[in-house]
């Protein structure tokens, strides 16, 4: 990079002190109009830009928000990022995005790097592996250091900080109710292993809806997907049962279920209804299009960044972590409809 122009060089070149230059560039009344004009003209001509690092060091704040996501090639997380970015930008912040790739180790490392003063606060969705390990020391350390932290979607109670989540139980309930109301009797649940708490919560909603309708929950109708294995093969197993409804906790699972149903010659939604989660492009463009629970990722991102910045800017004060619950919506499309 070429020799950058600094306040010092301007000062030397114009035979004034750095304080004068600094003040002149801020249009301070302390400096005579004449001097100000001279300095400003010079700075302008040479395209002077104040060095951000110096300012950050002096002000002890970076105006940067760190974001750590488990993955990104996923409609939900993409939209959350958009929401975070928009909200941050509006308040003059930038975002620094990192990925844990669902790995505990990478999460720990990334957290360490970012908490060295590079960011004013963090927004995180916890990695799968971490949820499985139940090892949250790195987060607890962060909280102890009083670095502003907001968790979203994948959160745990052990960590005392602000949280933004969807009403997963309610959403699971809503989805299952919808299928029941369409007259479905044998509804399969395609979910994550139980340590992924969003999966567990949606399952609770599913079970609640079934119990309410006096239907027994049947373990044989539930598949917990191991993402390291072939997803489709795992789902195929549940299709050996005589099911007429599928509730999948994300759109990939839903799309796979739909493909299997088609291969089996089941007509959708006449013989089998399918409902997914995450209102992404797959659900929208598949045929038939898939009914889903819209998670409103954009809103989640906005909310998360809003509470984070609030925490950053009016620190101190009595701290009582907030939990914001975003309501989810049922978006009815072609893959479900009354069977009667």
Partner DNA sequence: GAAAGTCACGAAAACGGTTTCGTGTTGACA
Partner DNA sequence: TGTCAACACGAAACCGTTTTCGTGACTTTC
Residues engaged in binding a second copy (CB under 8 A): 1-2, 4, 47, 49-54, 56-57, 62, 64, 72-75, 78-79, 81-82, 85, 94-99, 112-118, 141, 145-148, 252, 255-256, 258-259, 262, 280-282, 285-287, 315
Residue 7, binding choice from DNA, a second copy, none, Cβ under 5 to 8 Å by partner class: DNA
Residue 234, binding choice from a second copy, DNA, none, Cβ under 5 to 8 Å by partner class: none
Residue 285, binding choice from a second copy, DNA, none, Cβ under 5 to 8 Å by partner class: a second copy
Residue 124 beta carbon to DNA: minimum distance, rounded to whole angstroms: 23
Residues whose CB falls within 8 Å of the CB of residue 88, separated by 6 or more in sequence, listed in order = 65, 94, 95, 305, 309
For a second copy, give the closer residue by CB, 108 or 221: 108
Hey, how many other C-beta atoms are within 10 angstroms of the C-beta on 63? 17
For a second copy, give the closer residue by CB, 79 or 292: 79
Rounded-to-10 torsion of CA 231, 233, 235, 240: 180
Residue 45, binding choice from DNA, a second copy, none, Cβ under 5 to 8 Å by partner class: none
Q: What whole-number distance in Å separates Cα of residue 166 and Cα of residue 293?
A: 11
For DNA, give the closer residue by CB, 61 or 195: 61
Q: What whole-number distance in Å separates Cα of residue 134 and Cα of residue 122?
A: 20
Residue 36 beta carbon to DNA: minimum distance, rounded to whole angstroms: 7
* Cα–Cα nearest to 201, from 191, 186, 188, 214: 191
Omega into 269 within 30° of 0, i.e. cis? yes
Residue 13 beta carbon to DNA: minimum distance, rounded to whole angstroms: 12
Residues 176 and 139: beta-carbon distance below 8 Å: no
**239 φ, ψ to 5°?**
-75, -5
Residue 183, binding choice from DNA, a second copy, none, Cβ under 5 to 8 Å by partner class: none
Q: What whole-number distance in Å separates Cα of residue 118 and Cα of residue 98?
A: 13
Per CB under 7 A, residues contacting DNA are 4, 6-8, 15-20, 22-23, 25-26, 29-32, 34-35, 48-51, 53-55, 57-58, 60
Residue 214 beta carbon to a second copy: minimum distance, rounded to whole angstroms: 35
Residue whose structure tokens are 């795992």: 234
Hey, how many other C-beta atoms are within 10 angstroms of the C-beta on 295? 25
Residues 121 and 109: beta-carbon distance below 8 Å: no
Residue 74 beta carbon to a second copy: minimum distance, rounded to whole angstroms: 8
Residue 105 beta carbon to a second copy: minimum distance, rounded to whole angstroms: 12
For DNA, give the closer residue by CB, 46 or 194: 46
């Amino acid at each position: 990079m070429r020799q950058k122009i600094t306040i010092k060089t301007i000062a030397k070149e114009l035979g004034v002190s750095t304080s004068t230059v600094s003040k002149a560039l801020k249009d301070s009344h302390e400096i005579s109009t004449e001097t100000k004009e001279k300095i400003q003209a010079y700075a302008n001509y040479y395209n002077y830009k104040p060095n951000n690092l110096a300012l950050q060091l002096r002000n002890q704040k970076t105006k940067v928000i760190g974001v750590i996501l488990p993955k990104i090639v996923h409609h939900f997380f993409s939209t959350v990022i958009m929401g975070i970015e928009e909200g941050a930008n509006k308040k003059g912040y930038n975002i620094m995005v990192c990925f844990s790739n669902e790995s505990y180790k990478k999460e720990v490392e990334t957290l360490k790097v970012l908490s060295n003063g590079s960011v004013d606060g963090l927004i995180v969705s916890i990695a799968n592996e971490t949820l499985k390990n139940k090892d949250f020391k790195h987060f607890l350390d962060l909280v102890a250091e009083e670095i502003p932290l907001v968790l979203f979607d994948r959160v745990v109670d052990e960590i005392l900080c602000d949280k933004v989540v969807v009403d997963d139980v309610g959403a699971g309930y809503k989805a299952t109710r919808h299928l029941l109301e369409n007259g479905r009797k044998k509804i399969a649940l395609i979910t994550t292993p139980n340590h992924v708490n969003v999966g567990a919560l949606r399952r609770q909603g599913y079970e609640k809806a079934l119990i309410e309708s006096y239907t027994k929950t049947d373990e044989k109708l539930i598949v917990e997907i191991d993402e390291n294995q072939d997803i489709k093969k795992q789902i195929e197993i549940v299709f050996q049962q005589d099911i007429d409804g599928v509730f999948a906790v994300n759109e990939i699972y839903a799309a796979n279920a739909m493909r299997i149903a088609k291969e089996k010659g089941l007509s959708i939604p006449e013989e089998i209804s399918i409902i997914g989660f995450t209102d992404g492009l797959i659900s929208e463009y598949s045929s038939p299009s898939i009914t889903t629970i819209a998670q409103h990722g954009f809103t989640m991102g906005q909310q998360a960044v809003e509470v984070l910045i609030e925490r950053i800017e009016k620190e101190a004060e009595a701290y009582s972590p907030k939990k914001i619950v975003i309501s989810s919506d049922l978006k009815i499309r072609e893959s479900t409809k009354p069977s009667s």
